[in-house]
Chains A and B, each alone.
Chain A
């Protein structure tokens, strides 16, 4: 089938990929798609030109984006009116239309796209296109040439670590689940991307749902788990729609359900929707949510690997981790372990946002420096402003100043600097941002999203917010800074789950790197940036 589809694709001289991700649709991408289809039809080019509806190539702020192959010509800001002109020039006369060409090639300069291998180049709603690009070949390899242990060993050898943020060895986790007593076993694909400012999982699901599904089927084979749940956010309607269709198509080709591809493997995959709770992405909270309760974490151990969903052994993996699995099976763990850095192999997707020239979704080898990401790929700070800080790791990440930009991106370096890898959010702040107000914004968010189960997080974060408000209202005193640091450390040490254990990070890092700004608020009763106008509600 892959051959047949490849033959079909080969017939076309050109392939026009119109990005129809959430962002581009909000900019009118569907109209652009229609006008390309119409232009190709009217110009009689249907035999040589394939117009495809694809997911996001990552350049979200330049939408609507159109990618023409061969040659990867990126057109940005395409309007329905310009579609015909682009077809006439590019396809008929063979000369790319400069006026619309994407102006920042450096955006792709240092990227390595493994997880996003198909993003922007494939119709996510057509399983045949995924298959023609090598999709499901890894599953076939597992079913025909590998034992369950072979698969687990390859994953172990690859050194892949969980991409949801904690960075636990994936192969180790698979070994735990595989050895755990109890049945049935479950697999949960975690697509509860609750971190504000992060959209890698959403983009992946909208652009390449089958990469996630294939990863889950391979896990089901390796761990003899017959039931899986893909847990995603209700705030992602297009991702939900895309995943639903992809699951249906996989079922209709016998890749999901009973007797997969004629073997003894059964795997039933169900989509479950969260309902807006940041905490639901935490691995024990997700269990409670799927069981139909409030998403509240519970103490570990027992770990979900031995006692998860309904007390049974459960593998919980972020969908970005899962999308790596087919590549590891196809190319071998050895191959994967050589990408990135030895203790942290592979790539990581980052959502690049804030005060940055080229916002979007990138995928880079682990070990790349923050400087390369912010200044080379992201193009630095726009509008002639100065770089001030970069927030890494979402609302419970850390604010790092320019002096820390030499850091390589891996779990350990970021943690040492006071940030976290988290789910890969990088938000750039320029000199207009007030750090005290920024810290308060994140604490506000964590207060809102704390589930309230454990006291350090529930009470401690409110205390921290009160102190920050006091400082913002020009009523701060010098010892407030020590108090913030102390309470922050207590919350980190004593909280039950990752939310509380990391929530103080923005406060602790802004104190660590921008203490003078706190002092200005406290001693001079003045905000150096003039942004938080001392006492006005900024957020």
Chain B
């Protein structure tokens, strides 16, 4: 669920605003289905991230208004759960799994290798903004450890070399 293809740029041309309005309407529909009940907050945040690719300030404030929750509480929930992103991710997202089984099978070394290759730490994007490195704490595919998720594809029994090769492809400008 990267939502990259639908991510909204922050430029303000007329068509962008139109697109954004359409996407907001989608979110609005979900909130309406839940009768604007505050207990739907997590669902709404998940949907918003699916639609926009990440949760920007404006969206958080809009959700707070609609569900009659203080913005601090919405922000509190968005920062509490690992799944939510408050910054726009790159076109490509690399997520090594750092669960126990993956760690035992050498995920730590793979992570260090990726950090070196990209020149960024976990949670950050490359300077050109194209690639983002996250970590996850177990996707439940432990028998295939170590796992690395590249965009939406899970690579099981991953090797340092295999993952770096994939990354080099991005760096070469291929998608």
**A interface, CB within 8 angstroms of B:** 22-23, 26-27, 60-61, 63, 193-199, 202-203, 234-237, 272-278, 289-295, 351-355, 359-361, 391, 394-395, 425, 427-429, 433, 438, 441-442, 445, 448-449, 451, 537-539
Tell me the nearest residue of chain A to B107, going by C-beta.
A539
A441 to B154, CA, bound (A): 23
Tell me the nearest residue of chain A to B81, going by C-beta.
A275
Other-chain residue from A293, A395, A427 in contact with B73 (beta carbon distance below 8 A): A293
Closest 7 interchain pairs by CB?
A196-B99, A197-B100, A60-B143, A276-B82, A292-B41, A275-B81, A196-B138
A289 to B80, CA, bound (A): 11
Evaluate contact between B42 and A433: CB separation under 8 angstroms. no
Give the shortest distance, in Å, between A453 (CB) and chain B (any CB): 11
For residue B90, CB closer than 8 A to chain A, the reply is no
B145: chain A residues within 8 A (beta carbon): 353-354, 359
Give the residues from 52 to 78 in chain B that come closer than 8 angstroms, CB to CB, to chain A: 67, 69, 73, 76-77
20 contacts between A and B (CB under 8 A): A22-B140, A22-B154, A61-B144, A196-B98, A196-B99, A196-B103, A236-B140, A272-B43, A274-B81, A275-B83, A275-B84, A277-B80, A277-B82, A294-B77, A295-B81, A351-B101, A354-B145, A355-B104, A359-B101, A448-B137
B138: chain A residues within 8 A (beta carbon): 194-198, 235
Give the shortest distance, in Å, between A84 (CB) and chain B (any CB): 25
Other-chain residue from A234, A236, A360, A394 in contact with B100 (beta carbon distance below 8 A): A394
A195 to B100, CA, bound (A): 9
For residue B18, CB closer than 8 A to chain A, the reply is no
Number of residue pairs A-B, CB distance < 8 angstroms = 158
A539 to B122, CA, bound (A): 12
Count of chain B residues with a beta carbon within 8 Å of a chain A beta carbon: 46
For residue B141, CB closer than 8 A to chain A, the reply is yes
A290: chain B residues within 8 A (beta carbon): 39
Evaluate contact between A22 and B141: CB separation under 8 angstroms. yes
**B interface, CB within 8 angstroms of A:** 1, 37-43, 45-46, 67, 69, 73, 76-77, 80-84, 98-105, 107-108, 111-112, 136-145, 153-156
Evaluate contact between B39 and A234: CB separation under 8 angstroms. no
Tell me the nearest residue of chain B to A201, going by C-beta.
B140
Tell me the nearest residue of chain B to A21, going by C-beta.
B141
Other-chain residue from B37, B77, B104 in contact with A427 (beta carbon distance below 8 A): B104
Of B42, B98, B111, B140, chain A has the most CB atoms within 10 Å of the CB of B140
B40: chain A residues within 8 A (beta carbon): 292
Evaluate contact between B142 and A276: CB separation under 8 angstroms. no
Evaluate contact between A292 and B104: CB separation under 8 angstroms. no
A192 to B12, CA, bound (A): 40
A218 to B67, CA, bound (A): 34
Tell me the nearest residue of chain A to B101, going by C-beta.
A353
Evaluate contact between A199 and B137: CB separation under 8 angstroms. no
Evaluate contact between A60 and B141: CB separation under 8 angstroms. yes
Q: Check A273/B140 contact, CB under 8 A, given A27-B156, A292-B40, A292-B77.
A: no
A539: chain B residues within 8 A (beta carbon): 98, 103, 107-108, 111
Q: Check A235/B154 contact, CB under 8 A, given A275-B83, A276-B82.
A: no
A273 to B41, CA, bound (A): 11
B104: chain A residues within 8 A (beta carbon): 353-355, 427-429, 433, 438
B154: chain A residues within 8 A (beta carbon): 22, 26
Evaluate contact between B143 and A353: CB separation under 8 angstroms. yes
B82: chain A residues within 8 A (beta carbon): 275-277
Give the shortest distance, in Å, between B134 (CB) and chain A (any CB): 11
A476 to B136, CA, bound (A): 30
Evaluate contact between A235 and B143: CB separation under 8 angstroms. no
B77: chain A residues within 8 A (beta carbon): 292-294
Other-chain residue from A197, A294, A361 in contact with B80 (beta carbon distance below 8 A): A294
A56 to B80, CA, bound (A): 32
Evaluate contact between B39 and A235: CB separation under 8 angstroms. no
Tell me the nearest residue of chain B to A273, going by C-beta.
B46
Evaluate contact between B42 and A354: CB separation under 8 angstroms. no
Evaluate contact between A353 and B39: CB separation under 8 angstroms. no
Q: Check A272/B42 contact, CB under 8 A, given A23-B156, A197-B99.
A: yes
A276: chain B residues within 8 A (beta carbon): 81-83, 136-137
A359 to B101, CA, bound (A): 10
B144: chain A residues within 8 A (beta carbon): 23, 26-27, 60-61, 63
Task: List 15 extra interface pairs beyond A352-B143, A539-B108, CB under 8 A.
Answer: A23-B143, A60-B144, A196-B142, A199-B141, A273-B42, A274-B81, A274-B83, A275-B46, A276-B83, A294-B76, A294-B80, A294-B81, A354-B105, A355-B105, A438-B104
Of A351, A354, A361, A429, chain B has the most CB atoms within 10 Å of the CB of A354
A354: chain B residues within 8 A (beta carbon): 100-101, 104-105, 145
A203 to B141, CA, bound (A): 10
B45: chain A residues within 8 A (beta carbon): 275
A273: chain B residues within 8 A (beta carbon): 42-43, 46
B39: chain A residues within 8 A (beta carbon): 290-292
A445 to B42, CA, bound (A): 23
Tell me the nearest residue of chain B to A234, going by C-beta.
B83
Evaluate contact between B100 and A353: CB separation under 8 angstroms. yes
A351: chain B residues within 8 A (beta carbon): 101, 142-143
Tell me the nearest residue of chain A to B143, going by C-beta.
A60
Evaluate contact between A359 and B100: CB separation under 8 angstroms. no
A272: chain B residues within 8 A (beta carbon): 42-43
A449: chain B residues within 8 A (beta carbon): 137
A80 to B15, CA, bound (A): 45
A199 to B145, CA, bound (A): 12
Give the shortest distance, in Å, between A230 (CB) and chain B (any CB): 13
A437 to B59, CA, bound (A): 41
B67: chain A residues within 8 A (beta carbon): 292
B84: chain A residues within 8 A (beta carbon): 275
Evaluate contact between A23 and B141: CB separation under 8 angstroms. yes
Tell me the nearest residue of chain B to A539, going by C-beta.
B108
B73: chain A residues within 8 A (beta carbon): 293
Evaluate contact between B46 and A234: CB separation under 8 angstroms. yes
A352 to B103, CA, bound (A): 14
Evaluate contact between B108 and A427: CB separation under 8 angstroms. no
B101: chain A residues within 8 A (beta carbon): 196-197, 351, 353-354, 359, 427
Give the shortest distance, in Å, between A354 (CB) and chain B (any CB): 4
A196 to B107, CA, bound (A): 13
Give the shortest distance, in Å, between B148 (CB) and chain A (any CB): 11
Of A291, A292, A352, chain B has the most CB atoms within 10 Å of the CB of A292
